[in-house]
Structure 1
Amino acid sequence: MATRIKNKTHAHVPQDRNECAQHIRQIGELQRDFERLRSDMNDQIATITQAFQPLLADRQQRIEALQAGVQAWCEAHRVELCGEADKRGKTANLVTGEVSWRLRPPSVAIRGADAVIETLLRMGLGRFVRTRYEPNKEAMLNEPDAVRGIAGINIVTGVEDFVIVPFEAAATVEG
């Protein structure tokens, strides 16, 4: 794992080449320890998740069954709960909680967007097709002189990162 140095706060600066090599070795040890700890943490999370999954699935099934029953009863008694169809409300208070009916807002579902766009344009319904404009950064990098001096555009070049790569042996498993 390479370490990119972003800030230099609280740095202990080695005093010679030997001490610098020792620091790089310690970085490698700490990175490997970090990965071991992360692996142990993920193993424990997996164990906990596996232990609770059947309990959660059972509760979810029970909740869904109760919800279906409450909805069936409420649908059958909607007039009693909310009043006549032309004046009825959408919410009923049942002491331990509320039930409500809500109309979702209209939405548009599109399958095969390319074909839909083509059809809309062919039928003269271009007002339903959105054209998106955005800066082309790749083109700007290819022609930096053309955009130099334009407010809001800054071509960043020559940024150097310092990278530390502790040596590690690669392990392979042959099957």
Structure 2
Amino acid sequence: MSKKTRIKSDAVAVTFANREEVNVAIAHIGAAQRQRDAINTAMNEELAAVRARFEEQALPHAAVIKDLGQAVQVWCEGNRVELTRDGRTKTAKFAAGEVSWRVRPPRVSVRGEGIVIEALKRLGLERFVRTKEEVDKSAILGEPGAVQDIKGLSISQGEDFVIKPFETEIEEVQ
């Protein structure tokens, strides 16, 4: 069953009789965008002030957490054998909470990827070099007729209606 093409667009609350009315509407859109931007700027300024105020209040607590956390870690490292029952557990429980030691998974860091790839290939370690195959979408757009019968591949193109009042950088996409 084929999908029906929709011809009608959604109903709108306002209609225009002539070009001048549309021009006035675009001018109103521009004014509304500028008002919205001013409100957004004021909101961001207030949020920044609130954030700064609360971060300043939290600063002494962060210092206490850091200092006490380091002291707890030093003591626990010094008593790790007893706390972990000679390494049989990774967690030590206290009345107020617990501490634990977690081994992070191994991680590979590569600096100078090209040089590393060359060295791996030179040493016969190609199994550590990944070759990625992927569809070249820009080439397909250059020759759409060549791939039109391939299942799973489709080319689509949409259209946006854009209103851009003068004196604004923001576009309203409908």
TM range (shorter): 0.7 to 0.9
Name which of structure 1's ranges 71-80 and 34-43 shifts more when overlaid on structure 2.
71-80
Secondary structure of the corresponding residue to residue 51 of structure 1: helix
The one-letter amino acid paired with 1:132 is K
Q: For 1:152, what is the secondary structure of its paired residue? A: coil
Tell me what 1:102 maps to.
102
Quote the Cα distance in structure 2 between the aligned partners of 1:136 and 1:162: 29
Equivalence for 2:45? 43
Q: Secondary structure at the match of 2:92?
A: strand
Partner Cα distance (1:19, 1:36) in 2: 26
1:9, CA displacement in angstroms? Answer: 5.5
The corresponding residue for 1:26 is 28
Deviation at residue 90 of structure 1 after TM alignment: 1.0
Q: Which runs of 5+ in 2 are unaligned?
A: 1-8, 170-174
- Higher deviation after alignment, 91-100 or 72-81: 72-81
Unaligned runs of 5+ in 1: 1-6, 171-175
User: Which structure 1 residue ranges, 4+ long, deviate > 6 Å from structure 2?
Assistant: none
Report the TM-score, using the length of structure 2 for normalisation.
0.82
Distance of 2:53 and 2:122 partners within structure 1: 57
Tell me, in whole angstroms, the C-alpha distance in 2 between the residues paired with 1:122 and 1:8.
64
* Alignment equivalent of 1:66, drawn from 58, 68, 92: 68
Over residues 51-108 of structure 1, what are the superposed CA-to-partner deviations in whole Å (9 max), with x where a residue is unaligned? 22333333222211111001111112223322124xx311111011011111122222
SS in 2 for 1:99: strand
* Displacement of 1:37: 0.7
The 3 A distance-change label for structure 1 pair 65 and 169 is closer
Corresponding position of 1:91: 91
Change (3 A) 1:8 1:24: farther
Which deviates more from structure 2 when the two are superposed, residues 34-43 or residues 45-54? Answer: 45-54
Residues of 2 paired with 1:100 and 1:155: CA distance? 54
**Once the two structures are aligned, what percentage of the paired residues are identical?**
43
Taking the TM superposition and a 5 Å limit, the aligned residue runs for 1:1-175 are 8=10, 10-85=12-87, 88-157=88-157, 159-168=158-167
Q: Count the aligned residue pairs.
A: 161
Distance in 2 (alpha carbons) for counterparts of 1:78 and 1:37:
56
Structure 1 Cα separation of the partners of residues 11 and 73 of structure 2: 61
| Counterpart amino acid of residue 91 in structure 1 | T
The Cα RMSD (Å) is: 2.1
Cα displacement (A) at 1:11: 4.7
Provide Cα deviations, 1:24-75, integer angstroms capped at 9, x if missing partner. Answer: 1221111111101110111111111222233333322221111100111111
TM-score with structure 1 setting the length: 0.82
**Partner Cα separation in structure 1 for residue 48 and residue 58 of structure 2:** 15
